[in-house]
Structure 1
Amino acid sequence: MLDVTITPHLEFLAADKPGQKLFVMLKLRPNRDVSASRPSTSFNFVIDTSGSMYDDTDLGKPKIDVVIDALNNLVRSHKADSRDRIALVQFDDSASILLPLTPATDTAAIQTAIDRLRDFSGGTCMAKGMQDALDLLQNCDLSSRRTLIFTDGETFDETDCRELAIQFAKAGIPITALGVGDYNEDLLVYLSDRTGGRVFNVVETANTAGTTDIAISELPNTIFQEVQQAQAEVINNLKLNLRTVKGVTLQRLSRVYPDRADIPLDTEPYLMGSALANDDTVFILEFDIDSRAGSRVRIAQLGLTYDVPGQQRRGELPPQNLVVQFVAGRGGVAQTNPEVMGYVQQCNIGQLVDRAASVAENDPDQAQKLLETAKRVTVKIGNDAMLQSLNLSIDEVRKTRKLSSGTRKTVKMGAKGKTVKMSDSPNEGLSEEQIRNLTGT
């Protein structure tokens, strides 16, 4: 049901050498039969209806009206059919379910619920809306489930939001988070990373052409794409079971294609999200390995469990041994796998950007250096949208000696956007050692 390849970045490691890194690519691809099994979906929209949502946009209408128009366009588009169900939750100081899970073909009921979004106003308590969404979705087993959260401000209950994200992840429900205005980007990134979802920075005016920002005028298309993404997630509720031997530690687990997410390591099994039909989903595991004598050694064992909602089945990858050859002496240099290292580099771009954003206020020179390094790697990889975001941030730091809130969101959220699919052809980017030195990994 699920084709899996496990590829280390090196053919062998040096014996009797402490503190080595091993990057392992875990590539998943649903087989043809599974890819053809379009799942039913349960899609929940959680919409901020706080007072600031009534502020006008450059489109000449309030943000709440832009959202309402986008949702109505989805209903009229017939992108969803009888296999799909839609729910709608609003939140401000409180929250309410405007529409329980309803067949997407019941357009009259859905449009009536959407129009009710104008009936609310208040502060921003997003966790209350998230709780209602979780209650609606958590028992919808063997369905492709997703929650889309749209907000334009900072919530008063951030701690509760973070705790609820763990419950979403355990239930196998990815969160797509869209923020516009003065939202907390770190919180939205956490919600998407924790649940294996996605995150977008929505801007009122597309004055950053070519970047990863989403213009608010493009909100209807973005919502269409998220619904279609849920329909294409033929594998979901992916969980990685991993056991390492003594002296081997998993330091980082990241999804690196088709977009980037950092998978938290505080919950076992590791909750990894979903896999799309007819394409690869790629993860990178980063291990720290202590000194070993020359030998061939099993350093870890990994297995997967997952759901196939379109076939109403659950699947399992039996435990697979990760074996490494440790070679004594200096008879040769191990050949690195260019495909694996290409994904490692893309993962490290995100680390560079995060570090630059965190130090920009106190050390703009270091921030610029980190962004320039991220740019060099990005040029080699060929991610044009990310390159535009980096150019914008580098130019601002150079001119103003800081990163504005808007630019910080653009570059940080952009680092979570679509990544470039790598091949096994030679890559002339920065070497593994250069990347590790620059990023601190």
Structure 2
Amino acid sequence: MLNVTITPHLEFLNADKAGQKLFVMLKLRPNAEVSASRPSTTFSFVIDTSGSMYEVLEGEETIPTGNSYFLDGKQYTQVTGGKTKIDQVIESLERLVSSGQADSRDRIALVRFDDSASVLLPLTASTDTASLKNAIGQLRNFSGGTRMALGMEEALNILKNCDLSSRRTLIFTDGQTFDESDCRDLATQFAEAGIPITALGVGEYNEDLLLYLSDRTGGRVFNVVETQTHTGTTDIPISELPNTIFEEVQQAQSEVINNLKLNISTVKGVKLARISRVYPDSAEIALDKKPYLIGSAIANDDTVFMLEFDLESHSQAKVRIAQLGLTYDIPGQQRRGELPPQNLVLQFVAGHGGSAQTNPEVMGYVQQRNISGIVDRAANLADQNPEQAAELLETARRLTVKIGNDAMVESLNLGIEEVRKTRKLSSGTRKTVKMGAKGKTVKMSNDSELGLSEDQIRNLTGS
């Protein structure tokens, strides 16, 4: 049902040496039968209907009036013509409903939030286009502040009992929420229920919060821009919102394995330090709850996780340092599966172990994972130490060039240029760079060779 490979980055480590790292690649791939079992999906759209969503997007269709106005405490330049953000969201959802992208196996719910929240449509068959379009049209009837946790809570209540289905919540917001701590608490409940969150932000949203929501739940995150002034980056222009929503529906339909729970037990002197999803995109997995909630696996491709262990000194021997086991759901077949405990065995040898060959595929994913850490450090340092921030971004760019992720390279180029010219990162560029580093990753192989040693990467990221 689920093919699993477990690969350490080294075949052996130094005996009697403390403070060593072990990186272990956990690769999951559904078999052909499971990959063919397309699951039903239950999708909740959680849409920001605060006042700023009625801001007209500037572009070729707009004409400046020369006047300005205040909305949600911010000043805007008034224009005529064009579309508002809420117009774009409504058109995107209507196109999804009319596209036939979903079928009778799929259900959709619609939730809106501002100062309050309400369910505009409970879970409804995606083929009931009349009901869906009627609910979507109601999004224009609301306005107010921004309390995203209220909308998240409604979505969780809708989806949490929909077992053995591919579930997903998509949140679209354009501002700072007043209840950030509540959103973070709710993200834990989404993760425990096996519901990924796809977070899309446009404008002055809190990127750290959206990154947390996607990481904590094993979801994805997108930086949506009003107009894409820097082509080639990972930014999503709002005019491309329909395509992004289509992709998220396809993603949910491809998740033939979900509710993955990873059990890890370690022996004395071995500590699990980190779990990351490294392919087909990146996410950090929380370690605060066992078993570890690691998300989903897609059909006809690998889903790859990186486990990082800290090891104390050990005498020369071949020893079991940990056991790994998995449980998971197969929604398309309406059943559950498990991987019995697997032993992770490592050889400790006397003498200089540095001559051991590292596995290039594992280290390629480690380096790719660490790019987001380098970018985060650069973003935090940009205002206080722009020289060091530029150096870190350049290191991330060099790694990304070797990996071959062109869109991420363009995002990093933008950040490097701005830091060197202005000695800081603007809010918009900071989002472009940070969100770009959390996007799609590149599949590695045993032929991968990225040019930095394990120790260099660890030093750069402070691990």
TM-score by length of 2: 0.94
- Following superposition, the deviation at residue 331 of structure 1 comes to 7.3
C-alpha contact (below 8 Å) 2:164/2:334 kept by paired residues: yes
Structure 1: unaligned runs, 5 residues or longer: none
- Following superposition, the deviation at residue 58 of structure 1 comes to 2.7
**Aligned equivalent of 1:372:** 394
**Aligned equivalent of 1:404:** 426
C-alpha contact (below 8 Å) 1:381/1:429 kept by paired residues: no
C-alpha contact (below 8 Å) 1:138/1:171 kept by paired residues: yes
Deviations 1:184-207 (A, max 9, x none): 000000000000000000001111
Give 3-state SS (helix, strand or coil) of 1:178's partner. strand
Deviations 1:10-41 (A, max 9, x none): 11101111100000000000000000000000
State how far apart, in whole Å, the 2-side matches of 1:388 and 1:331 are: 39
C-alpha contact (below 8 Å) 2:53/2:86 kept by paired residues: yes
Q: How many residues align?
A: 441
State how far apart, in whole Å, the 1-side matches of 2:28 and 2:353 are: 35
**Aligned equivalent of 1:432:** 454
State how far apart, in whole Å, the 2-side matches of 1:67 and 1:239 are: 34
Structure 2: unaligned runs, 5 residues or longer: 60-81
Deviations 1:222-277 (A, max 9, x none): 00000011011000011111111111111111000000001111111111111110
CA RMSD after TM alignment: 0.9
State how far apart, in whole Å, the 1-side matches of 2:269 and 2:394 are: 35
Q: How does 1:323-338 map to 2 (within 5 A)?
A: 323-330=345-352, 333-338=355-360
**Aligned equivalent of 1:57:** 57
Q: Name the CA shift for 1:142/1:376 in 2 (closer, same or farther; >3 Å).
A: same
State how far apart, in whole Å, the 2-side matches of 1:427 and 1:243 are: 32
State how far apart, in whole Å, the 2-side matches of 1:271 and 1:208 are: 36
**Aligned equivalent of 2:17:** 17
Give 3-state SS (helix, strand or coil) of 1:217's partner. helix
Indicate whether 1:419 and 2:416 are aligned. no
Deviations 1:104-146 (A, max 9, x none): 0000000000000000000000000000000000000000000
State how far apart, in whole Å, the 2-side matches of 1:9 and 1:109 are: 53
Give 3-state SS (helix, strand or coil) of 1:139's partner. coil
**Aligned equivalent of 1:235:** 257
Q: How does 1:296-335 map to 2 (within 5 A)?
A: 296-330=318-352, 333-335=355-357
State how far apart, in whole Å, the 1-side matches of 2:461 and 2:7 are: 22
Give 3-state SS (helix, strand or coil) of 2:355's partner. coil
TM-score by length of 1: 0.99
- Following superposition, the deviation at residue 332 of structure 1 comes to 6.7
C-alpha contact (below 8 Å) 2:164/2:335 kept by paired residues: yes
Deviations 1:269-316 (A, max 9, x none): 111111110000000011110111110011111111110000000110
Moved over 4 A (4+): none
Q: Percent identity?
A: 77
C-alpha contact (below 8 Å) 2:106/2:125 kept by paired residues: yes
**Aligned equivalent of 1:174:** 196
**Aligned equivalent of 2:294:** 272
**Aligned equivalent of 2:64:** none
Give 3-state SS (helix, strand or coil) of 1:239's partner. strand
**Aligned equivalent of 1:387:** 409
State how far apart, in whole Å, the 1-side matches of 2:104 and 2:354 are: 60
Q: How does 1:106-255 map to 2 (within 5 A)?
A: 106-255=128-277
- Following superposition, the deviation at residue 359 of structure 1 comes to 1.3
Q: 2:101 aligns with which of 57, 71, 79?
A: 79
